[in-house]
Amino acid sequence: MWQTLIPIPFLLPYLFHQASAHGGALNYTVGDTWYPGYDPYGDQTMQDGADWMVQRKWITNDPIFETTNASLSCNTPGNPAKSYVPITAGQNITAVYAYWVHTVGPMIAWLAYCANDSNDCRTFNSSTASWFKIGQKGLLEGTIEEGTWFQKAFSKWDGSPSLWSETVPSSLRPGKYLVRHEIISLHSANKPQFYPECAHLDIKGDGHAFPSKEYLVQIPGVWSMDQPEINIDIYKPEVSKKTEYKIPGPAVWTGLS
Ligand SMILES: *[C@@H]1O[C@H](CO)[C@@H](O)[C@H](O)[C@H]1NC(C)=O
Ligand SMILES: *[C@@H]1O[C@H](CO)[C@@H](O)[C@H](O)[C@H]1NC(C)=O
Ligand SMILES: *[C@@H]1O[C@H](CO)[C@@H](O)[C@H](O)[C@H]1NC(C)=O
Ligand SMILES: *[C@@H]1O[C@H](CO)[C@@H](O)[C@H](O)[C@H]1NC(C)=O
Ligand SMILES: CC(=O)N[C@H]1CO[C@H](CO)[C@@H](O)[C@@H]1O
Ligand SMILES: [Cu+2]
């Protein structure tokens, strides 16, 4: 649906809103099918309660600065959506961003089973969710300060969408899940910025696996300013020249255990 480049005039509203240099996951794709998300600067009354909405509500693309902020789970205000992105375990879920302006820090895709009476994400409070990682992208090459992070590499500046894909493990037990795409930007010394957005997935398949406890975390909870990879000054000489950055948090669950 985006074989044609978005003409520049249509990008101007984004340039305006992103004058403060922020952003988020705006849409999703599975294969060739595209699902619009919540436009934080669009008409809220048209979007709230819309039958087609797959993304939890967010109304600002400002970062979250506090590792304990309740909005860290599904942004502000994070109200449930009415619909789901249908997907089969083993397929990729792709988050679509407009160009992304920051360049340093990891990106992590998480899932959480909507552990409600009827496994219904529409009534599920994300503050009670148990999240597990399904994929993450970090420093691809070079040094922490000046090298190429996926966060820098995936951003397109020509009007075409910036895409981030991760795979839903093929052995995952089917059901309704939250997916949470998180970009952590580390360009401000000791002041990490968190950009999370959540959507609803209806996962099909014939898998039976589910991650064990060591893969599951609460959000907020997983991050803290005691973690050197989170509370980091990338400009400090002993940090800036390092060519390795260990993405913090639990291991990625690939479905094998
Ligand atoms: C949580 O983050 C949001 C978005 O940046 C902000 O508006 C809100 O004030 C923060 N809440 C707290 C308790 O710090
Ligand atoms: C997301 O979808 C909306 C339509 O709902 C479209 O206007 C916008 O250009 C899309 N954004 C990106 C980055 O693809
Ligand atoms: C979710 O639970 C938290 C913690 O109990 C509560 O503060 C919040 O209001 C709840 N959100 C909704 C939408 O019910
Ligand atoms: C699916 O996502 C994985 C993980 O990012 C990636 O390696 C792979 O190329 C993607 N496949 C497709 C068809 O996009
Ligand atoms: C844990 C959780 O999110 N429970 C919710 C399940 O759905 C009911 C409404 O159907 C809510 O009241 C609960 O908070
Ligand atoms: Cu920003």
Query: Splitting the chain (257 residues) into consecutive groups of 10 residues, what average pLDDT does each group show?
Result: 40 44 94 97 96 98 97 98 98 96 98 96 97 98 98 94 98 98 98 98 97 98 98 98 98 88
Give the 3-state secondary structure of residue 213. Answer: helix
Q: What is the pLDDT of residue 13?
A: 41
Q: What is the pLDDT of residue 159?
A: 87
Q: Which of 68, 69, 127 to mutate to test the pocket of ligand 1 (most atoms within 8 A of CB)?
A: 69
* Ligand 2 binding pocket includes 96 (Cβ within 6 Å): yes
Long-range contacts, stretch 227-234, CB < 8 angstroms, 24+ apart: 229/106, 230/67, 230/184, 230/192, 231/190, 231/192, 232/186, 232/189, 232/190, 232/192, 233/189, 233/190, 234/104, 234/144, 234/145, 234/186, 234/187, 234/189
CA of 15 to the centre of ligand 4 (A): 29
Ligand 1 atom nearest residue 66's Cα: 14
Q: What is the pLDDT of residue 20?
A: 55
Give every CB contact of residue 226 below 8 A, 6+ residues apart in sequence.
none
* Ligand 3 binding pocket includes 127 (Cβ within 6 Å): yes
Domain range summary for the chain, segments of one domain joined by +: 8-240
Q: What is the pLDDT of residue 56?
A: 98
Q: What is the pLDDT of residue 256?
A: 76
* Ligand 4 binding pocket includes 91 (Cβ within 6 Å): no
Q: Which of 73, 127, 128, 218 to mutate to test the pocket of ligand 3 (most atoms within 8 A of CB)?
A: 127
Q: What is the pLDDT of residue 117?
A: 87
Residue count of the chain, please give it: 257
Q: Which of 153, 160, 112 is nearest to 133 (CA)?
A: 112
- The structure tokens 């995936």 sit at 154
Fold adopted by 8-240: Coagulation Factor XIII; Chain A, domain 1 (2.70.50)
Q: Sign of the C-alpha dihedral, residues 18, 224, 250, 83?
A: negative
Q: What is the pLDDT of residue 257?
A: 53
Q: What is the pLDDT of residue 14?
A: 44
* Ligand 1 binding pocket includes 79 (Cβ within 6 Å): no
